[in-house]
Amino acid sequence: MRKSIATVCLSGTLEEKLTAIAAAGFDGVEIFENDLLASPLSPERVRDRTAELDLTIDLFQPFRDVEAVPEDLLARTLRRAEKKFAVMERLGADLMLVCSSVSPAALDDDALAAEQLRLLAERAAAHGIRIAYEALAWGRHVNTYDHAWRIVRQADHPALGTCLDSFHILSRGSGPKGIEEIPGEKIFFLQLADAPLMAMDVLQWSRHYRCFPGQGGLDVAGLLEHVLRTGYDGPLSLEVFNDVFRQGDTARTAVDALRSLIALEEAAGRTDLPAPVVPTGFAFAELASTGLELPALLTELGFARTGRHHSKPVELWEQGDARIVLNSGLDATTGHPEPALAAIGLETPDPAASAGRARALLAPVLPRHRAVADAPLDAVAAPDSTELFFCRTEHPDHPSWTGDFRACVISPRAASAAPAGITHIDHVALTQPRYHFDEASLFYRAVLGLRPHESLELADPYGLLRSRAVSGADGSVRLALNVAQIRPGSGPSGSLWQHIALHSRDIVATARRLRERGAPLLPIPDNYYDDLEARHELDPGLHRTLRELGLLYDQDDSGTFLHLYTATVGRVFFEIVQRIDGYQGYGAANAPVRLAAQHARTR
C-alpha cells in the first residue's frame, strides 16, 4: 500500500522534512498547515519540490471549528475555507482534513452539522477538492468515529467523507469493529499513530506522547485490519505528535517511521516480508579494550583467554557457553576511546534470513572488511550503533566465526583461577541515546522478532532511568534497553553505562570465589539489607549470606533472583545473576540501589 506521513511528525524546516521523507522511501506527505505558514517556500514551490522528490501531497491539514456553528459565524467560516481552498489549489492538494469542532460556540445539533458540512463540501468540490471529516477524541460534541460517520452519511455529498485516526479511536476505547460498516469509498483518509498506555488528559496525551505504530500499547494493527475489510485503498499515513521526535534527527526519524508502517503491514497480513528469525541465544559480546583492566577483570570472573584472531587485534575469552570478545583495534578513531560494548553476536538458525529481514526493515547493513579466510558474518547497526552479528556457532552446515581464532595456551595461573560457575550470557543492557528509545523498541520487535515488555521508570540519584526489556519467547535472548535522564554536572554519566549479565549455576559459590580472588565488586549499603529483611521473610541464614557477599534479592510470581555487580571499567560493568524457579525479571526493584552505588564509586 502507499505510505504517507504528516510533516508534523518530524523536526526541522518544511524543506528538511520533505527531503527526509523522500529519502526514507515514502510515497506521499500530509502538509501540516503550521509547517507551511512558517516556510519561506511559496505553495507553488512546495508543490514543485514534492514533485521533484517524487512525493504526492495526500492531505492538507487541519481545518478547524467548521460544523454546527451559529448562523452569524457561518459566513466567516466559509470565507476562511475559500482562502484555504485557494492555497490548496496552489499546492496541488485535493483533500482537506476537517476536525470536529472544539469551539464553545459549536451547537449540539447533528442536522445542522450535516447541513453545514454539505455546504462546505459543495464549495470544496467547485475547486476540485474533497473534505475528510475527523472526530477528535476531545471534540466538543463529536468525539467518536461512528458519530462523525453518521453526520457524513446524513450530509450525503460525494465530496464529503470521513478520516479515521487510530489514536482518536483507540484512546477513547472505542470498538473499531464498527468501522467495517463504513463503505470503503467513504473513508477518504486513514491516519495512524500508537501511544504508550497512560492515565492522563487525552489532549495532552495526544499532543506529546503519540508514537509510531508498534512503539506503544494500542492495537493499531487490529484497527487497520478492520479498515482494510471495508475496501479502503488509500494511503497508510502517520500523524504523530511527539516532543522527542520533534527534537530528533529528521532523517533517521523518517526511516523509523517507514519501518513502523512496513511492520504494521506485516501485522495486518498485507506484505510479503521475510519471516522473522528469532535469535536463539548469545554467540558473544564484543568489548572495545585497549588496556589491561578488562583482561584482568575477566580473569577474576573465571574466564580464560582461549583464542587470538588470525588477522585482527582481537581475543576470545570463554567460560562455559559465555564468550567475550576483546577488540583492542577499536579506539578513539572508531568511537571507542575507553572500554565499551561494541557488538553482540546473536545465534540464529538462519543467518542469511536474519540479515534479509533486517535489510527489508531498513536496518543499516554494516560493511565488513574481512580476509579471505574469515568466516562470513552479516552485521547491522542497532539504533544505539551497537553492531549486531548473525551467527551460527560451530554448526556443521555453517562456517563458525570461532574458526577465525587460533587457540591460545592457557597459563597455569589462569587455569587455576577458572572457572567461577558462569554458564552463559543471561542478558545484555544497551544504553540508548535519549531520542532513540522508541526507535529501539520497535527495531528489536520488528527486526528480530523479540517481545517488548512493560516500560519502567527507575530512580537515579540525579534523575530517572527509563528501561524496557525485549526478549524471545523462551528467554534465551534478553535485552534491556535503557535511557537515562540525569542533570548535567552529576559526575560520570550513568547514561553511558552498559553491562553484560552472566548466569551462574550457583551464585553464592561464584560470589565467594570472586571475593577470594579480590574481584572489584560493587559495595551494597547495609541499609539495603535492613530494608530487605523488613520486606521479605527470608531464612535468617540466607539473609546473612546475602549481606556478607553483597548479593541483591528480588522475586516475582514465578521465582526468585539473586545478583551482584562488578565495578565499572570505562563504560562497562558485569552483573552475575541466578534465576531460580522461572524468575522472568531483571531485578528492577534493586536498580536505584545499584545506580546510587555506582555514582558514589565513580565520583
Binding site feature residues for a divalent metal cation: 134, 165, 191, 239
- Print the SS3 string covering 460-502: ECCEEEEEEEEECCCCCCEEEEEEEEECCCCCCCHHHCEEEEE
Dihedral (Cα; 371, 376, 382, 387), 10-degree rounding: -40
Q: Cell triple for residue 273? A: 516480508
Burial status of residue 169 (CB atoms within 10 A of its CB: 0-12, 13-18, 19 or more) = buried
Q: How far is CA 81 from CA 86, 123, 139, in A?
A: 9, 8, 20
Binding residues: 134, 165, 191, 239, 427, 499, 575
227 with 164: CB under 8 angstroms?
A: yes
Which stretch of DSSP H or E encloses residue 564? strand 560-565
Single-letter amino acid code for the residue at 548: E
From the list 183, 189, 154, the residue with the least C-alpha distance to 168 is 189
231 with 182: CB under 8 angstroms?
A: no
Kindly report the backbone phi and psi dihedral angles of residue 220, in degrees, each rounded to the nearest multiple of 5, phi listed first.
-70, -40
From the list 268, 242, 266, the residue with the least C-alpha distance to 253 is 242
Q: Cell triple for residue 183? A: 463503505
149 with 117: CB under 8 angstroms?
A: no
Cα separation of 337 and 335, whole Å? 6
Binding residues for Mg(2+): 427, 499, 575
Q: Which residues contact 369 (CB under 8 A, 6 or more apart)?
A: none
From the list 259, 169, 247, the residue with the least C-alpha distance to 9 is 247
From the list 98, 102, 103, 92, the residue with the least C-alpha distance to 36 is 92
Cα separation of 572 and 324, whole Å? 13
- DSSP 8-state assignment for residue 569: B
385: left (phi over 0), alpha (psi -120 to 50) or beta: left
Within 2-126, residue ranges assigned H as helices are: 14-24, 33-37, 43-52, 71-91, 110-125
Burial status of residue 44 (CB atoms within 10 A of its CB: 0-12, 13-18, 19 or more) = exposed
Place of cell 533486517: 358
C-alpha 438: how far from its chain's center? 3
Cα separation of 373 and 97, whole Å? 60
Q: How far is CA 278 from CA 282, 447, 603, in A?
A: 12, 9, 40
Say how many Å lie between the first and final Cα of the chain, rounded.
Answer: 54
Q: Residue 587: helix, strand or coil by DSSP?
A: coil
